[in-house]
């Protein structure tokens, strides 16, 4: 039995689905073919701790100093950061909407 390899797009999609609150862990696992819920928890932890550079690292590689492989261009790093900030912004907007709805009640 080998290790499963998930693309960074899959990891981002899982984080986005989880943050939306529309899907349970089981639904996300089924949708993306993830075998263990701990994988989702790990990606969410990376996201919360702003370790998004880890989404692109290969299995067995843990980049600490440079936060990613040297082969990444500055443009790729900026694109990844922009994607992260956009998703963070979406989440904050959704939170504010929910907070506003709760205050009405």
Report which of 32, 31, 26 is spatially closest to residue 4, judged by C-alpha positions.
32
pLDDT tens, residue by residue, 4-47: 788 888 998 999 999 888 899 999 999 999 999 999 999 999 98
DSSP-derived secondary structure letter, 53: G
Between 81 and 30, the higher pLDDT residue: 30
**Looking at residue 44, what is its pLDDT?**
92
Q: What is the mean pLDDT of residues 71-99?
A: 82
Maximum Cα interatomic distance, the chain, rounded to a whole number of Å? 52
For residue 91, name the pLDDT band (cuts at 50, 70, 90). confident
When the pLDDT of each residue in the chain is averaged and rounded to a whole number, the result is 82
* SS3 category, 54: helix
**Looking at residue 70, what is its pLDDT?**
56
């Amino acid at each position: 039995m080998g290790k499963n390899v998930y693309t960074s797009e899959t990891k981002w999609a899982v984080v986005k689905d989880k943050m939306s609150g529309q899907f349970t862990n089981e639904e996300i696992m089924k949708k993306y073919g993830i075998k263990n819920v701990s994988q989702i928890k790990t990606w969410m932890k990376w996201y919360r701790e702003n370790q998004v550079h880890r989404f692109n690292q290969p299995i067995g590689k843990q980049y600490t100093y440079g936060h990613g492989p040297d082969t990444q261009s500055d443009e790729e790093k900026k694109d990844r950061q922009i994607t992260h900030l956009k998703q963070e912004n979406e989440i904050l907007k959704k939170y504010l909407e929910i907070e506003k709805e709760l205050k009405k009640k």
